[in-house]
Amino acid sequence: MRSVEVLREVEAEAASGAPGVTARVADDVDLLRAHLYDLLAALTGRAPSDDVLSILAGSSGDESPLGRACSALAREAAGADPAKVGREYFDLFVGVGRGEIVPHASYYLTGFLNERPLARIREDLARLGIEASGRMSEPEDHVAMLLETMAGLVSERFDTGPGADRAFFERHLQPWVARLFDDVAGTSRSSFYRAVGDLGRAFIGIETQAYALDA
């Protein structure tokens, strides 16, 4: 994803101290963060289409840990068979009965589905005035829905107050989502999704550190 290269460019501009640059850089960085949240939501919410794989295959990263994860995912996408990746997605996240990985906050936090974490998410979504898009039939604690919500909060697509993204991340993603991406990165079923897991845990690690520094 060239977003990683752009991120380094805007950080360099910020260091220049030019008038008005700091605010623009903050906006650019938030847009790039939202892009990565949207990407991870798409890849965990459904099997990638031919078009998505083509876009990923044409992307690139840099030598940072996040950039290397982006480059690895691009290489996997370039050689991927869409039908095979679709079967791997099904086996990993859906399965017959259940997949290898159950991508729900309730499961990771309690060991069961549809537990108190789901109720807390629904309460906070209602308080923020955010409704499910309807593109998925899964409960709201599915990782893809939470990542998509973060993309909207970070990019200010939702009309919420300042700090809503940090509060949502710390309450509903930070306690468990790094473990999920560790599990995805460790799967033996799919080299493509191992690369998705590596990208996810690199990005979530950065987000966790950034929110902690901003405390």
Query: Which residue in this structure is represented by tokens 């991508």?
Result: 103
71 dihedral zone (left: phi>0; alpha: psi -120 to 50; beta): alpha
What single letter denotes the amino acid at residue 119?
A
* 135 CB-contact burial (10 Å; exposed 0-12 / middle 13-18 / buried 19+): exposed
7 in Cβ contact with 32 (< 8 Å)? yes
Mean pLDDT of the chain: 87
Q: How far apart are CA 43 and CA 194, in angstroms?
A: 12
The alpha helices in 90-142, defined as continuous H runs, are: 105-110, 116-128
Q: How far is CA 155 from CA 61, 70, 174, in A?
A: 22, 21, 19
Query: Which residue in this structure is represented by tokens 């906070």?
Result: 124
- Domains present along the chain, CATH in parentheses: 2-213 (1.10.3480.10)
pTM: 0.87
Residue 82 in this model has a pLDDT that exceeds 80: yes
Residue 41 in this model has a pLDDT that exceeds 80: yes
Q: How far apart are CA 149 and CA 55, in angstroms?
A: 23
> What is the share, in percent, of the chain residues with pLDDT greater than 70?
86
Check residues 3 and 42 and name the one with the higher pLDDT: 42
pLDDT at 11: 38
136 in Cβ contact with 144 (< 8 Å)? yes
The alpha helices in the chain, defined as continuous H runs, are: 2-16, 21-45, 50-57, 65-78, 82-89, 105-110, 116-128, 143-154, 164-172, 177-185, 191-213
Q: What angle, 0 to 180 degrees and rounded to 10, lies between the N-to-C axes of helices 143-154 and 177-185?
A: 120
Q: Sorting pLDDT into bands at 50, 70 and 90, what band is 24?
A: very low
